[in-house]
Amino acid sequence: MRPRELWRTTPFRLTLFNGAVFALAVMALLGLIYWRTAGYISHQLDAIVVSEARALASAGAESLPRRVREAVAADGRAISYYGLFSADGVWIEGNVHRLPPDAVPDGAPRDLRETGFQPGARAVVQRLPWGELLFVGHDAKVLSGLREIIVNALAVSGAVILLLGLAAAAALSLAPLRRIDHLRAASRAALRGELGVRLPVSRRRDEIDMLAGLANAMMDETERLLWEVKSVGDNVAHDLRTPLNRLRAMLYRVSQETRLEGPDREMIDRALAETDELLIRFRALLRIGEIERRDRQACFEPVRLQSVLEHVLELHEPSAEDRGVTLDCDTIQAAPPIFADPGLLFEAVSNLVDNALKFTPSGGRVRLRLLMRDEGPRIEVVDNGPGVPDDEREAVLNRFYRSQRTRTEPGSGLGLSIVTAIARLHHFTLSLDDARPGLRVALDCWPRGLEA
Amino acid sequence: MPKILAIEDDPTTGEEIVAELSQHGFEVVWIADGRDGLISAVSGDFDAILLDRMLPRLDGLAIVTIIRKAGIDIPVLMISALSDVDERVRGLRAGGDDYMTKPFASEELAARLEVLLRRRAAIPRQAALTVADLEIDLMSRTVRRAGVEIRLMPTEYKLLEFMVRNSGQVLTRTMIFEAIWGYHFDPGTNLIDVHLGRLRRKLDRPGLPPLLHTIRGSGYALHAPA
């Protein structure tokens, strides 16, 4: 399982998101506790410094230095600061030797921002009735201890939440990911045309199962419809072919045995020709079914495309000449052999050339080309006939479709469908585009990517 | 009169085969069961066997395999409703000489049988083939008509040789396409006609009696002028 895949799953992201929200909530809670506690402690400190200053001030001018000294000595935790200064700020007594520069001697408690004190320390500076200045401060060791505890708690809980969240997310998403991998494998097989494939459904009946079940139902329906259509087509062709053959046999016998002359003879011949035309179409229909049902690579072998094209050229050259169409073949570039069914490939290219010749007027040109692309060899049949309009290009690949302007030409209308079926069997791509003027049909002889 | 053994379980097709082949001057023995068919094939003196691919009791493929294992070298034309190319390959590999898909045009059946019979009877080594005033030198691959050499393209030569080897015999377009090009599909339109038309233009020059004949509704035949 790739980490990137893990990251993309919904359970993974949801769990991580939940973890983040939870971590934020914990931080907010601890923050609130700290903020309220700090306020309370600060308030307490204020009360302490103010009451101590007041108590010291009440001692009187003579005993004050002694009281200050006693107070300093009594402070075992070294969290109280005392300082007695003359009216112009010269130290007299205490463990604070210098007044803070921003001190205001109004008796109101303030933050003590001097270095050497914990943040949150409070102090009061009071001018005594006899002019001297009394400084009383209280460090905020409790507060900083509390802060430390809270920050530690935050760090530890954050790490725990993160690790637990990741673990939970991975655990939650691995199982669905594994299931989705199975689904993907099955879908790929279905995409390759394996109609019998179904997506795996567990007994959990969760949302993945619901979707898989839905997809399976769709695939069932598609397969049913496909078989129905196929069997209707095949059965019709098969069932009708037998009586048609009998009809043809009868017509043939009539044409052979009796001595018909003139219009009667002509009628019989025309009837025979029409029957043959019908039989050709049935054969083509059955042929498509046959190719589609084909055991995929039973007849595959290395094929030299150059020789396939040369044989096609050789087969069609006289008929091109009769039609007054130039047919040439351009296979200069050496293409490596491809793995394919040589008979079917010949049939496909032959059909393409047959089509091109049919729809190219006398004096026109049909070119059979073998090109080499990065991905593999490409066969092109290019004519300079009337071409196929943009909006019809998709449709000409459908069974029986014939461009409006060419309806009068003989043929089954199934030639391109046979080519499509052959291309699909090989996973090759058949494409039509404008050759300005004319039509360019290209058969890309490399497997079309299915892993998209 | 060539004697043909037809092993075919479908009564309609069987009757058709008997009617058609009798009409073409064959003597037909029709057997509807695979095992009985095999017994007849091994014991009887037939000139060719018409063998359905799918039969009750013993499969057509099995029959042809057993016949060949037994060293019986009799022409076997296999017929089947299975038109798949793989099936054809399997049939021919098992020892069949030709393979036809049901339903078939009845004259094609007779034509193919005659080609098979002739192939078996083929004169072992010949240096030349002749029909009327047409001569083919198989060594130098040259063709003369009434003493005048005819220049042919490779495909035209192959076509002519095939027609001459089976002279007097109706050959359908499908048979010609399969024999000359070696592919088994419907080449469509009139491709084969065009090739034969070219050959005819070179062969039957104006003033000469035609050798290459179009048989209406079935195919072509090459034979001496009547």
Do residues A64 and A79 make contact, with C-beta atoms less than 8 angstroms apart?
Answer: no
> In a mutagenesis test of the B interface, which of A251, A257, A290, A313 is the best target, namely the one with the most B β-carbons within 10 Å?
A290
Where along chain B do its domains lie? 3-122, 128-222
Domain A3-144 belongs to what architecture?
2-Layer Sandwich (3.30)
Residue A231 or residue B200, greater confidence: B200
DSSP string computed for A182-224: HHHHHHHHHHTT-TT------SS--HHHHHHHHHHHHHHHHHH
Q: Give the mean pLDDT of B104-117.
A: 84
A411: phi > 0 → left, psi -120 to 50 → alpha, else beta; which?
A: left
B106-121 vs A207-257: helix axis angle to the nearest 10?
Answer: 80
Q: CA of A266: which chain B residue's CA is closest?
A: B216
DSSP tag of A397: G
Residue matched to tokens 């002279």: B167
CA distances from B156 to A343, A383, B222 (A): 21, 27, 14
pTM of the model: 0.63
Q: Do A255 and B217 touch (CB under 8 A)?
A: yes
Q: CATH 3.30.450 in chain A, residues? A: 3-144
Taking the CA atoms of chain A, what radius of gyration do you get in angstroms? 48
B184 touches chain A (CB under 8 A): yes
Q: Do A347 and B217 touch (CB under 8 A)?
A: no
B105 touches chain A (CB under 8 A): yes
CATH number of B128-222: 1.10.10.10
What number is the ipTM of this complex?
Answer: 0.79
Query: pLDDT tens across A33-72, in order?
Result: 888 988 888 888 888 888 888 888 888 888 888 888 888 8
CATH number of A301-444: 3.30.565.10
pLDDT at A96: 84
Q: Do B186 and A283 touch (CB under 8 A)?
A: yes
Q: CA of A276: which chain B residue's CA is closest?
A: B217
**Using CA atoms, how far apart are residues A433 and A431, in angstroms rounded to an integer?**
7
Q: Any long-range contacts for B19-25 (C-beta under 8 Å, 24+ apart)? A: B20/A249, B20/B106, B20/B107, B20/B109, B20/B110, B21/B109, B21/B110, B21/B113, B23/B110, B24/B110, B24/B114, B25/B1
Q: Give the mean pLDDT of B106-129.
A: 79
Shortest alpha-carbon distance between residue A218 and chain B (Å) = 30
Domain B3-122 belongs to what architecture?
3-Layer(aba) Sandwich (3.40)
Q: Do B183 and A251 touch (CB under 8 A)?
A: no
Q: CATH 3.30.565.10 in chain A, residues? A: 301-444
B180 touches chain A (CB under 8 A): no
Interface of B with A in 108-147 (CB under 8 A): none
Shortest alpha-carbon distance between residue B213 and chain A (Å) = 15
In the sheet that A439-444 helps form, which strands lie side by side, from edge to edge? A326-330, A365-372, A377-383, A439-444, A429-434
pLDDT at A441: 92
Instruction: Give, in degrees to the nearest 5, the angle at Cα B70 between B178 and B66.
Output: 65
Query: pLDDT tens across B51-63, in order?
Result: 988 887 788 888 9
Chain A residues whose C-beta is within 8 A of a chain B C-beta are 241-242, 245-246, 248-249, 251-252, 255-256, 269, 272, 276, 280, 283-284, 286-287, 290, 293-295, 298-299, 311, 314-316, 318-319, 322, 343, 346-347, 350-351, 354, 358, 410-412, 415
A105: exposed, middle or buried (C-beta count within 10 Å: 0-12, 13-18, 19+)?
Answer: middle
Shortest alpha-carbon distance between residue B88 and chain A (Å) = 12
Q: CATH 1.10.287 in chain A, residues? A: 207-293
Q: Minimal CA–CA distance to A331: which of A372, A301, A292, A293?
A: A372
Residue A256 or residue B98, greater confidence: B98
Q: Which residues of A touch B83 (CB under 8 A)?
A: 286-287, 290
Domain A207-293 belongs to what architecture?
Orthogonal Bundle (1.10)
Within chain A, which residues score under 70 in pLDDT? 1-3, 115, 193, 230, 233-234, 237-238, 257-258, 294-298, 332-333, 398-413, 449-452
DSSP tag of A106: B
Do residues B76 and B42 make contact, with C-beta atoms less than 8 angstroms apart?
Answer: no
**Using CA atoms, how far apart are residues A290 and A282, in angstroms rounded to an integer?**
12
Q: Percent of chain B at pLDDT above 90?
A: 27
Q: Do A290 and B197 touch (CB under 8 A)?
A: no
**Using CA atoms, how far apart are residues A386 and A408, in angstroms rounded to an integer?**
15
Nearest to B105 among A249, A346, A412 (CB): A249
Nearest to B189 among A284, A343, A411 (CB): A411
pLDDT at A451: 37
